Amino acid sequence: MRGRRGEFERIRSVLEGCETDQPLTAREIMQVLEEHGEEFDSAHRVATVLGRRAQSGEVEVIRDQPYRYRFLEDDD
């Protein structure tokens, strides 16, 4: 389980640093990760990690063709 949380944190930290306002597809997210030296097996893996976090409300999945993902703000 620790590995999965690590994957999510890696994705989130890179995307937060990019300050992107618009939702991105898993493939677009993977391209951004690669540009920042982070490697993932596939866009499918990125989608799986983000989809699991959507269940807890940390990520919004926009069910379009293709699916897009957006990180939700913390209400601290």
Residue 60 pairs in a beta bridge with: 70
Identify the H or E element spanning 71: strand 68-71
**Given this model, what pLDDT does residue 67 score?**
96
Q: What is the mean pLDDT of residues 2-12?
A: 78
SS3 state at 59: strand
pLDDT, position 73 = 76
Percent of the chain with pLDDT over 90: 74
Which residues are bridge partners to 70 per DSSP? 60
Q: Answer yes or no: is 34 within a domain.
A: yes
Instruction: Tell whether 7 is covered by a domain.
Output: yes
Q: Are 29 and 69 in contact (CB under 8 A)?
A: yes
In a domain, 38, yes or no: yes
Q: Does residue 76 lie in a domain region?
A: no
- Per-residue confidence at 2, pLDDT binned at 50, 70, 90? very low
Main-chain phi, psi angles of 28, to 5 degrees: -65, -40
Query: What local confidence, expressed as pLDDT, does residue 58 receive?
Result: 93
d(CA 4, CA 6) in angstroms, rounded, equals: 5
